[in-house]
Amino acid sequence: MKRKLSFVLAMVILALCFTGCGSNNDVAENGETVIYVGGCPVKEQAPELWEQFEAQRLGFMEKYPEIKVIGDEYNYSMDTYLSKAAANQLPTIYYLPFTEVDKVMEAGYVADVTEYMEKYGYMESMRSDVLEKATRDGKVWMVPIKTYYLGMTANKEVLAQAGMLDEDGYVVWPKTFDELGQMAGEIKAKTGIPGFVMPTMKNVGGWHFMNIAWSYGATFMEKQGEQWVATFNSPECAEALQFVKDLQWKYNALSDNLFIDFAEGRKMIATNQGAFHFAVLDDNLFKPLVMQNGMDRNSIAMGKIPAGPEGQYGLLGGSMMAISSTATPAQIDACFKWLDYVGNGPKMSDEEKQVYEQSILDRLEIGMPVLPKNCFNVWKSGEKVEAQDAILAKYTDMDERNLEDYYDTEGMIIKAEEPICCQELYIILDSCIQEVISNKDADVNALLAKAANDFQVNYLDNVK
């Protein structure tokens, strides 16, 4: 009995060892090249999106019978990444935010894809400012697939209750932070609904606050010789943090809930529990608002973040596709074929137009909004961008006037996230935000002095 139990246990352990280790399984028994694609929707949580992925997977394998694609549900998390990578449990290809490029590259867990970027036409077609985000020491380490800038979303139903839409029923966007504070406070006074949703946890508060701080003239770090130095213990950053404090104690514009993360912030907007909130016009907005909480897509409006004394900023971010350093040349090549097939490559052949158009029809089928045109693209303006925009315009189910302030980036400063330990910086800034909105007597200068010192000692001093 013990021998049988030991055998079963050994088989279970062996199976677990192979689960998620697709990057080592280059060739299946029938000679196929195998790739594990990260970010696969969870069937039980999002069946419609899973079905879309499954249709793409099967269509790809029909086109490339020598390649086997297996969906992997893993999404990047700074809490789990290094341990999964060390255990060789990463998918072959997976999503990664812009801020994590240096961390994962220096850890040695991503493949050099320069050769394949050239082979498949990415180098000549991609915007240079986007390509440089994935380039270190003359080599390209990841594939940029999406860029965005952080703007501000509004719930038109809440604004209508407060009598703050124009005569045609559209949002009148606040131009300055002072205007935002006054509008947000007035909305809450009239409706009882928070006029502004300020996140406070899980990195999101710091991510949003960075835009405010930049517009007040704050900087967060600079390189002095070979050393990175924290610079946000400054009058400019203190003024920005004071604005956040004023949202609570001067304008009375915030929620009583002090624990707001990414999901909660979106839910509040979707369920008429908030008027304004920083956001990006993409599926990270549409999924929670429309798909999960049933918000009317034409109650969603998007504009720019207001301007501060030093300008109007929008944080540039985006997603990469990273390929595991253990992937073989055949797997890397298969990953680029996959990227092309699902519409993340530079080409727009008739076949790719059909695939892209079908993806739009699939969105409509499950009730996902379709934009009037792309907002921000990794590609240079040209044939692919024009072809995609023509398809979007054909099927859009959104009122472009609700989005035009976001599309118009003239005069804006679109600035990339900070280059070093950015996610860790967001966590530290979260704690500052929590303190100023929970404590009327919080000293913004003292908070920033401690935060900057903690960031320096715990993170920047350890950067090699």
Q: Model-level pTM? A: 0.79
For every residue of 361-394, DSSP letters joined together read HHHHHHT----SS-SS-SBPSSHHHHHHHHHHHH
- The residue ranges of every structural domain in the chain are 22-147+317-392, 151-316+401-462
CATH 3.40.190.10 fits 151-316+401-462, yes or no: yes
Measured distance CA(203)–CA(116) in Å, rounded: 34
Write out pLDDT tens, residues 294-318: 999 999 999 999 999 999 999 988 8
Q: Can you give the pLDDT at residue 383?
A: 81
Measured distance CA(273)–CA(172) in Å, rounded: 19
Which residues 6+ apart lie within 8 Å of 271 measured at CB?
A: 293, 295
For the domain with range 22-147+317-392, which CATH number is right: 3.40.50.150, 1.20.120.790, 3.40.190.10, 3.30.450.20? 3.40.190.10
Which residue in 261, 310, 295 sits closest to 154, CA to CA?
295
The yes-or-no answer to whether 22-147+317-392 and 151-316+401-462 have a common fold is yes
Which residue in 45, 98, 91 sits closest to 72, CA to CA?
91
Regions of the chain with pLDDT less than 50:
1-25
Q: Can you give the pLDDT at residue 27?
A: 64
